[in-house]
Amino acid sequence: MRIGKKYISLFLGVGVALSAVIGSGVSQAGFIQGTRIKSEHPSPFYITLSPDGKTMFTANQSGHSVSIIDTKSQKILGEVPVGDQPEAAVVSLDGKTLYVCNAESDSVSVIDIAKQKVTSEIKVGDWPCSVKLSKDGKIAYVCCSGNMWNAIDMIDTTTNKKVGSIPTTDYGPRDISISPDGKSAIVILDTAGKANRSVDFIDLTTNKVVENRIIGESANLRGVTHTPCGCYAIVTYETPKIWLPVCEAENGQIFTNNIAVIETKKGGKVARLPIDELNDYDGNPYGITVDPQGKYVYIAVRAMHRITILDLAKLINVVASNTQEELDYIRDDFETTTEYLVQRVNVGLCPSSVVTSADGKFCYAANYFSNSISVISAPN
């Protein structure tokens, strides 16, 4: 892959995946989270692509801004100031508008992409941290995960006004994924203080929760995505130390690192699967995506500064070929990880978010502490 030297340096990741780094910080310094105190790091936290894949956007937490990047030239086209601590963004289906969640401002900034300018700011609930579009692009669903908050706010993308909210069954809705057919959504509820956190299934025709399902012995639910078929959803999370396998407890680990693969049919299985190995622990799995072709799952692992890549077909086979009781046992069997682990690719410091190109050839990761975007080629 050929990339302009001005913005990147090349290095090899684990295995055959090639990783390049695009500097995503602009010339000016950023700000410390929640303040206007200057720092050296804009801190890209979330990354997303335009529908045509030609433009990339990073929500910069400490910079209180959005960077706009041309994916072909790998050059930064501009930076747009937004509210305090932007944590997520989504592009309208026509590619003209960007919606940005400002966590500390309790608002969504609406950006005219061509003009690189905020045109309006919409007040929403406490700590908006995730935003996704309906299949027709008419509604933006915003997760508000603040203290004692339990709602998904809805924004009409025609009028850019808040038009309602969907109550969740518990506090802390952290992320939302819309099903491929657009009829339903799954929301992860990272309810503070709960040892068994859960997910809500929402019928988007009625805007009501139709099922709540527990992920046993779970904490720090961070990301959720559907598989292309819509038959499963995958959640990144951690298991607190009290339930750790002995091999991790002896090594001073605080959490074991897992994904939950959830059948989306009513009453389906909840497979809690490890992504750790006996002597290699992932550490704070965060953002997650599946390529459109359904080959690979990419997970941003913040504490280990890498992207973990899983084989989706092999992962689903583990779920399909085991009963719920067998799956409950597998959660603590680190040898299971080798059945679906493809490779781990070293990237910049503290990757928080990942997204894949439409053709599945590349994965992009936002490196929070390195002020960079890593570009990873898909495994051969």
Taking only the tens place, the pLDDT of each residue in 13-32 is 333 355 667 765 443 455 55
DSSP 8-class letter at 263: E
Closest CA to 319 of 248, 257, 263: 263
In angstroms, the first-to-last Cα distance of the chain is: 14
Q: Checking phi first, is residue 348 left (phi over 0); if not, alpha (psi -120 to 50) or beta?
A: beta
CB 235 within 8 A of CB 177: no
Stretch 311-324: mean pLDDT, rounded? 97
The whole-angstrom separation of Cα 8 and Cα 258 is 32
Residue 240 has pLDDT above 70, yes or no: yes
Closest CA to 173 of 195, 193, 153, 196: 153
The whole-angstrom separation of Cα 151 and Cα 134 is 17
pLDDT band at 332 (very low <50, low <70, confident <90, very high): confident
Average pLDDT, the chain: 89
Residue 110 has a CB neighbour count (10 Å cut-off) of 21
* Neighbouring residues of 5: CB distance < 8 A, sequence distance ≥ 6: none
Fill in the amino acid letter for 33.
Q
Q: Which CATH class, in words, describes the domain spanning 18-107+174-377?
A: mainly beta
Indicate the domain borders of the chain. 18-107+174-377
Could you report the per-residue pLDDT of 154-189, keeping only the tens digit for each? 999 999 999 999 999 999 999 999 999 999 999 999
CB 133 within 8 A of CB 111: no
Closest CA to 86 of 67, 118, 60: 60
